[in-house]
Amino acid sequence: MKQTGTQSDHSRLEGLDPAGTGRVFWNLGTAALCERAVARGEARLSDSGALVVTTAQSGHEIRLALVDDEPGESGETSAQTSPDAAAPNRAGALTRPHFEALKADLLAYVGRRTLFGQDLCVEAGAGRRLSLRILSDQAWHALFIRHLLRPCAVAEGGETAPRFTVLCAPGFRPTPETHGVAAEGTLALDLANGLALIAGTARTEAIRAALAQLLDGPLTDAGVLRLEGAAATAPTGNVVLFLGAAGAGKSALAAALAKGQTGDSAPSHLADGALGWGEDGLIALENAAYARPADLAQPEHAAPGFGAVLENIALDPASRTPDLAEAANTDVSRVILAQPSTKSAQEAIFAPPAHLFLLVQDASGTLPAIARLTPAQALGSCLAGMDTVPVLAERHAARLHHLLTQHAPQGWLVNTGWIGGAAGVGQRVALEASRRLVDAAQAGELASGVWRTDPHFGFDVPAALEGVDPRLLDPAKAWPNRVDHTVAARRLAGQFAGRLARIEAALSQEAQGAQTGMVLAAE
């Protein structure tokens, strides 16, 4: 679209043919979208100018349905997203007639409403961009996605149809009999035609899951591995990649590293959220900070200023101050902070990572606060999930193995969970300790120290680091009874080995040669 802020009828929805005479506002800016969201009753305004929206009761469970023109006997098909995305790892199959019925009825529904459209792009490597169109009957959705992705520059001489389209109508309730999907929290995808339909939920996770599904195949074709994580350029010049399950601390540790732990200066080079890892290095697929309040390095200083989106975060009724501390304990709370509009596409590109930190929240209390991983151990931990949550789908194993071999980052396991006992009994690893260990690891401070091999998991653990409680590096010393620690550690190691054994058959021949080589303690 050449102009921004224009309105039109629905005839400009390429590939869609809605009924009615509704309007579409195209590519409105931040101020206009904030104004409309508040005026339409979609959001409230905080004391800093952030929009506060409530979606917690809107389709709490997001159900994924993929169009399958030739469904198998199981009636299910594998989801194409990463395990850390909002959608489940298994997706229900949706017949073509059901999807077409859903599309027709959803379009008839939005045809009587005002829509807000944004034309955006995702970087897929040097000189490669994927174009998307996001449409919703919620103005704040347009603001959220405008923060998350980059505006698409229109080619000289005309408009270009988007490669992918997402249509979101939270108020529409499908019926299983007619549409083949649940009434609430439905994400239906026609990957063959690049179309995602979202109904019965306003949660931003549904839109991000739609993007993950639509982009996964094209990114893979471009040689780019899609990940959920955070990347930062440290003061040493090292590019550091953080991976792990939601809530493990990726955002906080990456932000602290990028700031040089000064606590005041703005991060020099930071990406948080969806990342791509390709032959040339890392790519920030998203242009905004999308984080749980608990993952922010300093929630009270997160500066959710004008235009930021606060999802499911309470406001003080008098001062209109958001309660980020309380929201830190809520799974459905999100903070979306826009990046400066001057940030160039080149700033989305990082060099290959020199260090790969896999963050786990060990609920057993048996893992050390940090350990050094071989490439094989790093691959196994990504696929099997040391804390039961894998950070990568099995089908991407060969690609990850190739990137680990090509770029040779030093792998690390960081336990941000518990030490000295299981969750509820042991002590949580303090964020300050994790920061200190991560900084020492990437700066080379640990390299010259003494190391020991963990008898249960087979990875190397530093014996000591100045300023760090020794018990964090040898958890057995933190347990009241060393025998209890041994029993718990062996149980976790056995579970991990069992998950690796179950996925071994699914790995390509190349990846099968990269098993972890985990050493279990002798009986």
DSSP per-residue string spanning 197-248: EEES---HHHHHHHHHHHHHHHHHHTT-EEEEEEEEE-TTS-EEEEEESTTS
Q: Residue type for 371, please?
A: A
Q: What percent of the chain has pLDDT over 90?
A: 55
Strand 115-123 with 281-284, pairing: unpaired
Determine contact, residues 163/136, Cβ cutoff 8 Å: no
Model pLDDT, residue 210? 96
Segment 297-315 shows an average pLDDT of: 76
Q: Identify the DSSP state of 433.
A: H
Which range, 9-13, 184-188, 298-302, 335-339, is most confident?
Answer: 184-188
State the sign of the Cα–Cα–Cα–Cα dihedral 263, 268, 271, 276: negative
d(CA 233, CA 488): 37
Closest CA to 438 of 418, 404, 413: 413
Kind and range of the H or E run holding 289: strand 288-291
The pLDDT score that the predictor gives to residue 522 is 28
What is the longest distance spanned by two Cα atoms in the chain? 74
Share of the chain above pLDDT 70, in %: 80
pLDDT of 395: 81
Answer for the pair 72, 196: CB distance below 8 angstroms, yes or no. Answer: no
3-state secondary structure of 461: strand
Per residue in 430-449, pLDDT (tens digit) is 999 999 999 999 999 998 88
Eight-class DSSP state of 315: B
Alpha-carbon span 386 to 389, nearest angstrom: 7
Quote the CA–CA distance of 505 and 441 in Å, as a whole number.
Answer: 34
Query: Could you give the domains of the chain?
Result: 6-42+60-221 (3.40.449.10), 225-288+349-512 (3.90.228.20)
The separation between CA 164 and the C-alpha centre of its own chain, rounded to angstroms, equals 20
Question: Is it the case that residue 413 has pLDDT exceeding 50?
Answer: yes
CB count, 10 Å around CB of 421?
20
Classify the phi-psi angles of 261: left when phi > 0, otherwise alpha if psi is within -120 to 50, otherwise beta: left
Q: Which pLDDT score, from 0 to 100, does residue 509 have?
A: 46
CA nearest neighbour of 5 among 123, 148, 160, 146:
146
Position 72 pLDDT exceeds 60: no
Residue 505 pLDDT level (bands cut at 50, 70, 90)? low
In this predicted structure, which of 29-38, 119-128, 373-382 has the lowest mean pLDDT?
Answer: 119-128
Q: pLDDT band at residue 11, thresholds of 50, 70 and 90? A: very low
pLDDT of residue 507: 58
Q: How many CB atoms lie within 10 A of CB 178?
A: 11
Say yes or no to pLDDT of 13 above 70: no
Higher pLDDT, 10 or 370: 370
Q: How buried is residue 173: exposed, middle or buried, by Cβ count under 10 Å (0-12/13-18/19+)?
A: middle
- pTM as predicted: 0.85
Q: d(Cα 370, Cα 374) in Å, to the nearest integer?
A: 13
User: Which value, in Å, is the radius of gyration of the alpha carbons in the chain?
Assistant: 23
Section 263-287 average pLDDT: 80
* Measured distance CA(80)–CA(63) in Å, rounded: 14
Enumerate residues 6+ apart whose C-beta is below 8 A from 223: 125, 278, 279
Task: Output the pLDDT for position 297.
Answer: 52
Characterise 434 by phi-psi region: left (phi > 0), alpha (psi -120 to 50), beta (else).
alpha
CA distance 323 to 348: 31
Distance CA 107, CA 140 (A): 20
10 Å Cβ neighbour count for 78?
Answer: 12
341, HSE (Cβ side, Cα atoms, 13 Å): 5
DSSP string for residues in 90-132: EEEEE-HHHHHHHHHHHHHHHTTS-EEEEEEEEE-STT-EEEE
The yes-or-no verdict on residue 304 having pLDDT over 50 is yes
Long-range contact pairs involving 101-104 (C-beta distance under 8 Å, separation at least 24): 101/178, 101/179, 101/180, 102/174, 102/178, 102/179, 102/180, 102/181, 102/188, 102/197, 102/199, 103/16, 103/195, 103/197
Q: How confident is the model at residue 394 (pLDDT cuts 50, 70, 90)?
A: confident
CA angle 249, 253, 255 (to 5 degrees): 120
**SS3 at position 39:** helix
Interval 290-317 mean pLDDT = 77
Contact partners, residue 88, CB within 8 Å, separation at least 6: 62, 63, 64, 79
Q: Strand, coil or helix: what is 414?
A: strand
Residue 375's H or E segment, with its range, is helix 375-384
- List the structure tokens of 21: 């005479």
Segment 246-250 mean pLDDT: 86
pLDDT per position as a tens digit, 134-193: 999 999 999 999 999 988 765 444 445 678 999 999 999 999 999 999 888 899 999 999
| Amino acid 257: pLDDT | 87
Mean pLDDT of the chain: 83
Average pLDDT over every residue of 352-376: 96
The arithmetic mean of pLDDT across residues 450-458, rounded, is 94
Give the HSE-up count for residue 350: Cα atoms under 13 Å, Cβ half-sphere: 29
Beta bridge partners of 122: 130
- Residue 213: name the closest of 13, 64, 15 by CA: 64
Q: What pLDDT, on a 0 to 100 scale, did the predictor assign at position 469?
A: 95
